[in-house]
Structure 1
Amino acid sequence: MEQRVSFITLAVADVARSRAFYVDGLGWRPIFDNDDVLMLPIADRVLLSLWSVDGFAAEIGEAPATGLAPITLSHNVATEAEADAVLAEAAAAGARVGAASHREWGGYSGYFSDPDGFRWEVAVNPGETGDFVLRPRR
């Protein structure tokens, strides 16, 4: 099996509310959009799928767990100023935002929550892993 992820699917309470945040607020462009699901290209061959809870449950055969999911999605940038700008943009779109700070692992990051509480990290990650996520795939 090839080592990759093609879709990240999150069950959301209200697709219209998610659309207002991601598309209208953050300016992301969907590749597919209807009342039940919103699909957003987020990387080379990777889609973020925001699916209604009912549609999600019908597909997988059980309701999703409730409460804060033990997962973060990360958006890496090259500089602290870029991280602060992304966090400000998320706040303007209606996200709950925590202040960025220098981390003990040597980076700089802050977090915001989308309308369903999914946590996004905005990070400057020095070193190999930061270089890997920021440079174009060849």
Structure 2
Amino acid sequence: MDQRISFITLAVADVERSRRFYIDGLGWREELFVPGEVLMIRAGEHLMLSLWDERGFESEVGPIRRGDGLVPVTLAHNVRTEAQVDEILSLARRIGADPVGEAIKRDWGGYTGYFGDPDGYRWEIAVNPGPTGELVLPD
């Protein structure tokens, strides 16, 4: 098996609401949109973010855990500068992301902040120092 991820699939309560957030709000481009079913967004050269209606998700994958607390996963979008981190967090705030935290300098040397999408998935916007940070950024 190759060491790679092809799809990241997240179950969402309302595909249209997710489309408004990611496509209309963040300005991303959709690859596939089937109202009430799925929104697919190219997230890398060979990576697709799939936002799948939770009913369809549950029918194929199984029951979704529900209750208090956060979904135990974060997604990260890395950028080159602290100003870019602040700019994206500001955009998230303008389009209604909740919550949106202020970016801070982390003990490990990075500068990061988080926002929540309409289903509570946490996005980290980050500058990572060193070779790992460079590895994940496009040329």
Structure 2-normalised TM-score? Answer: 0.94
Any runs of at least 4 consecutive aligned residues in structure 1 with deviations exceeding 2 A, and if so which? none
1:15–1:50 CA contact under 8 A, matched in 2 = yes
Deviations 1:22-77 (A, max 9, x none): 011111111000120000001111010000010101112x2222242111000000
Shift of the alpha carbon at 1:135?
3.9
**Identity of matched residues, %:** 57
1:53–1:63 CA contact under 8 A, matched in 2 = no
1:21 partner amino acid: F
State the secondary structure of the residue aligned to 1:134. Answer: coil
State the secondary structure of the residue aligned to 1:18. Answer: helix
Aligned residue pairs: how many? 135
Do residues 113 (structure 1) and 103 (structure 2) align?
no
Gaps of 5+ in 2: none
Candidates 67, 81, 88, aligned match of 1:79: 81
Gaps of 5+ in 1: none
2:42 partner amino acid: P
